[in-house]
Chains A and B, each alone.
Chain A
Amino acid sequence: MRRITHFIYNQKAAPYIFVLPFVLTFLVFFVYPVFTTIRMSFQEILPGMITNVGLKNYQRLLGDRIFRTAVSNSFEYMFWTVLILIPMPLALAYMLNSRSMAAPGLFKGILFLPILTSVVVAGTIFRLIFGELPGSFMNTVRAFFGLAPIKWLRQEGTGMAALVIMCCWRWTGVNILYYLAALKNIPPEMYESAEIDGANAWQKFRHISVPLVKPTIIYVLTISIYGGLAMFTESYMLWAGNNSPRNIGLTIVGYLYRQGWEQNRMGFASAVGLVLLVFASIINFIQLRLTGVLGKEGD
Chain B
Amino acid sequence: MAVPSAKRVRRGPRLVLLVFFVCLSVVVLLPFFAILLASFKPAEELIRYGLNLRLDWHLMSFDNYKYLFTGITPEGQHLPHDYLLWFRNSVLLTVMQTALTLLTSAWVAYGFAMYRFKGRNVIFSCVLVILMIPFEILMLPMYSQASAMGLLDSFWGIILPFMAHASTIFFFRQYLLSIPKEIVDAGRVDGASEYGIFFRLILPIMKPAFSAMAILVGMNSWNNFLWPMLVLRSGKKYVLSIGLNTLLTPYGNNYDILIAGACFSVIPLLILFSFTQKYFIEGMTMGSVKG
A and B directly contacting (CB within 8 A): yes
Interface residues of A (CB under 8 A from B): 9, 11-12, 14-19, 21-26, 28-30, 32-34, 36-37, 40, 92, 95-102, 104-105, 107-121, 124-126, 128-129, 131, 133-137, 139-140, 169, 172, 177-178, 180-182, 184-185, 188, 191-192, 195, 201, 214-216, 218-219, 222-223, 226, 229-230, 232-233, 240, 253, 256-257, 260-261, 266, 270, 273-274, 276-277, 280-281, 284, 288, 291-294, 296-298
Interface residues of B (CB under 8 A from A): 1-7, 9-10, 13-14, 17-18, 20-21, 24-25, 28-32, 34-35, 38, 46, 48-54, 104, 107-108, 110-112, 114-115, 117, 120-121, 123-134, 136-142, 144-145, 160-164, 167, 169, 193-195, 198, 219, 222-223, 225-226, 240-241, 244-245, 248, 258-259, 262, 265-266, 269-270, 273-274, 277, 280-281, 284-291
Nearest A residue (CB) for B196: A9
A137 to B115 alpha-carbon distance, docked (Å): 56
CB distance from A213 to the nearest CB of B (A): 8
16 contacts across the A-B interface (CB closer than 8 A): A16-B111, A17-B195, A32-B145, A111-B24, A114-B28, A124-B248, A133-B50, A137-B52, A140-B53, A182-B285, A216-B288, A218-B291, A219-B291, A270-B137, A288-B128, A294-B128
Query: What residues of B have a CB within 8 angstroms of the CB of A111 in the complex?
Result: 24-25, 28
4 closest A-B pairs by beta carbon, nearest first, are: A18-B111, A136-B50, A215-B291, A230-B134
Given the known interface contacts A120-B223, A140-B52, A226-B132, the answer about A25 and B137 at a Cβ–Cβ threshold of 8 Å is no
Query: What residues of B have a CB within 8 angstroms of the CB of A32 in the complex?
Result: 141, 145
- Which of these, B121, B127, B194, B285, contacts A9 with CB under 8 Å? B194
Query: What residues of A have a CB within 8 angstroms of the CB of B285 in the complex?
Result: 180-182, 184-185
- Name the residue among A33, A92, A96, A119 with the largest chain B CB count within 10 angstroms: A33
- Which of these, A28, A100, A129, A276, contacts B9 with CB under 8 Å? A100
Query: What residues of B have a CB within 8 angstroms of the CB of A16 in the complex?
Result: 111, 117
A112 to B140 alpha-carbon distance, docked (Å): 34
Given the known interface contacts A33-B141, A121-B262, A188-B3, the answer about A112 and B273 at a Cβ–Cβ threshold of 8 Å is yes
CB distance from A270 to the nearest CB of B (A): 8
A166 to B17 alpha-carbon distance, docked (Å): 24
- Which of these, A14, A135, A260, contacts B115 with CB under 8 Å? A14
- Docked-complex contact A133 and B49, CB < 8 angstroms: yes
A133 to B46 alpha-carbon distance, docked (Å): 10
Query: What residues of A have a CB within 8 angstroms of the CB of B141 in the complex?
Result: 32-34, 36-37, 40
Query: What residues of B have a CB within 8 angstroms of the CB of A260 in the complex?
Result: 140
- Which of these, B25, B136, B270, contacts A107 with CB under 8 Å? B25
A215 to B178 alpha-carbon distance, docked (Å): 15
Nearest B residue (CB) for A172: B28
- Docked-complex contact A169 and B28, CB < 8 angstroms: yes
- Name the residue among B28, B130, B273 with the largest chain A CB count within 10 angstroms: B28
Nearest A residue (CB) for B135: A230
Interface of A is mostly: helix
A117 to B30 alpha-carbon distance, docked (Å): 14
Query: What residues of B have a CB within 8 angstroms of the CB of A133 in the complex?
Result: 48-50
A229 to B101 alpha-carbon distance, docked (Å): 25
- Docked-complex contact B193 and A110, CB < 8 angstroms: no
19 further contact pairs, Cβ within 8 A, besides A118-B240, A229-B134: A15-B115, A17-B194, A21-B107, A26-B130, A29-B138, A32-B145, A99-B9, A110-B29, A113-B29, A113-B270, A124-B259, A125-B34, A135-B50, A137-B30, A139-B50, A215-B291, A226-B134, A240-B248, A274-B137
Nearest B residue (CB) for A216: B289
- Docked-complex contact B13 and A33, CB < 8 angstroms: no
- Docked-complex contact B107 and A131, CB < 8 angstroms: no
Nearest B residue (CB) for A136: B50
A288 to B21 alpha-carbon distance, docked (Å): 35
Query: What residues of B have a CB within 8 angstroms of the CB of A121 in the complex?
Result: 244, 262, 265-266
- Docked-complex contact B3 and A181, CB < 8 angstroms: no
Query: What residues of A have a CB within 8 angstroms of the CB of B226 in the complex?
Result: 233
A41 to B144 alpha-carbon distance, docked (Å): 16
Given the known interface contacts A14-B194, A120-B225, A230-B136, the answer about A215 and B123 at a Cβ–Cβ threshold of 8 Å is no
Query: What residues of B have a CB within 8 angstroms of the CB of A192 in the complex?
Result: 6
Given the known interface contacts A214-B291, A215-B289, A297-B121, the answer about A253 and B108 at a Cβ–Cβ threshold of 8 Å is no
Query: What residues of B have a CB within 8 angstroms of the CB of A298 in the complex?
Result: 121
Given the known interface contacts A109-B277, A126-B31, A292-B291, the answer about A15 and B111 at a Cβ–Cβ threshold of 8 Å is yes
A102 to B277 alpha-carbon distance, docked (Å): 18
- Which of these, A21, A134, A240, contacts B104 with CB under 8 Å? A21
CB distance from A6 to the nearest CB of B (A): 12
- Docked-complex contact A136 and B10, CB < 8 angstroms: no
Given the known interface contacts A33-B138, A216-B289, the answer about A137 and B34 at a Cβ–Cβ threshold of 8 Å is yes
Query: What residues of A have a CB within 8 angstroms of the CB of B25 in the complex?
Result: 107, 110-111
Query: What residues of B have a CB within 8 angstroms of the CB of A113 in the complex?
Result: 28-29, 32, 270
CB distance from B99 to the nearest CB of A (A): 15
A184 to B286 alpha-carbon distance, docked (Å): 9
Nearest A residue (CB) for B50: A136
Given the known interface contacts A15-B111, A116-B269, A188-B3, the answer about A137 and B51 at a Cβ–Cβ threshold of 8 Å is yes
- Which of these, B134, B160, B288, contacts A185 with CB under 8 Å? B288
